[in-house]
Amino acid sequence: MSNYLAIATVTAALRNLLQSAVQAELPGAGVTTLRPDKSGEEEANPTLNLYLYQVTPNSAWRNEDLPTRDSANRLVQKPRAALDLHYLLSFYGKEGELIPQRLLGIVVRTLHARPVLRRKAIEAVVRGTSYLANSDLAREVETIKFTPLPLNLEELSKLWSVFFQTPYVLSVAYQAGVVFIESEETPRTPLPVRRRNLYVRPLRQPLIETVDSETGDPIVAGSTLVIRGRQLRGDDTRVRIAGTEVPPSEVTDTQLRVKLPDTLRAGVQGIQVIHRQYLGTPPTPHRGFESNVVPFVLHPTITNIQIIDTTGTGDQPRSAKVTVNPAIGRRQRVLLLLNGSDGGAEAYTLPAEPLDTDTITITITIPEVKAGEYLARLQVDGAESLLEVDDEGRYTNPTVMIP
């Protein structure tokens, strides 16, 4: 961890490191941390100027502290900025004695041999500098590393152009990083985890291939379905039919048997196999793997049909009262289909009025229908009721006599 003094501490420590190096080779040489000044004139003493000209986010660490807050906006981790420091090192002295070039050589040698800022050097500069006394950079886990920046002539020219009326001198750029600056806010400390629940499960997604009734006949209310497929067995296997979960009566890896719930409505329904997983302490059911959804048609069954108001006079036309299983929903579309039982050409399609509530009995008006006996079918949302067939393959029931 490191506080807001980290940047200044790095600059001061780098200054001390280079000060010792240049004075050992050029007695009287100095190191400054000023803005580059006019340097066309030869200086009496060799001088190395260290100037922090840019600070950029460190690309590897910039998002390492995220997220710092939870969904309730409570602090869970200290915000920490990760920075790279860009320094311009410029050299001054008598050009006739090649002082700037000798200083450059000392700097390159020193930072190449000691590219990491040691903790002892940081502690020494903190002890010797009153305005850095509260710096805690020495306790930071990540060390500071110095890297030369390969700036070409154009980049150096642009950099020096920002210093108004300051002529260019021999210079080199170095990067110091990574430097962290942490917030002073204290995050909330959660309670310790008493028990860790780690679950590893193979990918076993069930697959439904076919859905049929147990008898092989069309599916009607009360039918038992046989579901065939792969990987159908799970720790807790359920069958979801039109949003209702039903436990199967037989479970194998390739076949399930399940009885249709009484709450279904006639029409096209969807069926899906779901595997629930029990997780946590105590174990509670959670959503697991789910199969593909396969449609099937639930056919209505006419249990009774009779004609009411048989005279059909005045404003009271004849009507058919039909009892059906399963119940018809109030938003379902219902048609009564009549076909002559003698094989004649008479056929009628009679729509029912919209229902206000779910019911097993519906009344359908049958105006202008020729008298006679008819085979009756009820169509609910496209699913038709079934006709009985005799031994000779002829349709026999249900029928209704229209007077």
Q: What is the pLDDT of residues 78-119, one digit of tens each?
A: 888 999 999 999 999 998 899 999 999 999 999 999 999 999
Together in a domain, 79 and 150: yes
CATH number at residue 225: 2.60.40.10
Statement to judge: residues 40 and 151 lie in one domain: yes
Q: Are residues 71 and 105 in the same domain?
A: yes
Q: In Å, how far are 220, 249, 261, 278, 279 from 285, measured between CA atoms? A: 32, 20, 22, 4, 6
Inter-residue contact 300 to 378 (CB < 8 Å): yes
Whether 199 maps to a domain, the answer reads no
Whole-prediction pTM: 0.55
Q: What is the pLDDT of residues 169-193, one digit of tens each?
A: 999 999 998 999 998 888 878 788 8
Q: Decide which of 233, 265, 298 is a domain's last residue.
A: 298
215 located within any domain: yes
- Residue 201 domain-assigned? no
240 and 361 share a domain? Answer: no
Q: Are 80 and 181 in contact, with CB atoms under 8 Å apart?
A: yes
* 319: confidence class by pLDDT, cuts 50, 70, 90: confident
Q: Tens digits of per-residue pLDDT, 219-264?
A: 999 899 999 999 999 888 999 998 899 999 999 999 999 999 988 8
Please indicate, yes or no, if residue 79 is contained in any of the structural domains: yes
258 with 118, same domain: the answer is no
Q: Model confidence at 38, in pLDDT bands (50, 70, 90)?
A: low
Range of the domain at 30: 6-182
286 lies in the same domain as 369: no
**Which CA distances in Å does 171 have to 26, 91, 160?**
18, 6, 10
Q: Is residue 200 included in any domain, yes or no?
A: no
Is there a single domain that holds both residue 130 and residue 253? no
Residues 167, 261 within the same domain: no
Assess whether pLDDT exceeds 60 at residue 196: yes
Written as one string, the DSSP assignment of 255-306 is EEEEEPPTT--SEEEEEEEEEEEEETTTTEEE---B---EEEEEB-EEEEEE
- 147 and 73 in one domain? yes
Domain count, the chain: 3
370 and 332 in one domain?
yes
Using CA atoms, how far residue 357 sits from 331, 332, 398, in Å, is 8, 10, 26
What is the C-alpha separation between 260 and 224, in angstroms, rounded?
A: 6
Of 298, 328, 359, which residue is a domain's last?
Answer: 298
Residue 154's SS3 state is helix
Asked whether residue 96 falls in the same domain as residue 168, the answer is yes
Mean pLDDT within 204-226: 92
Same domain for 116 and 62: yes
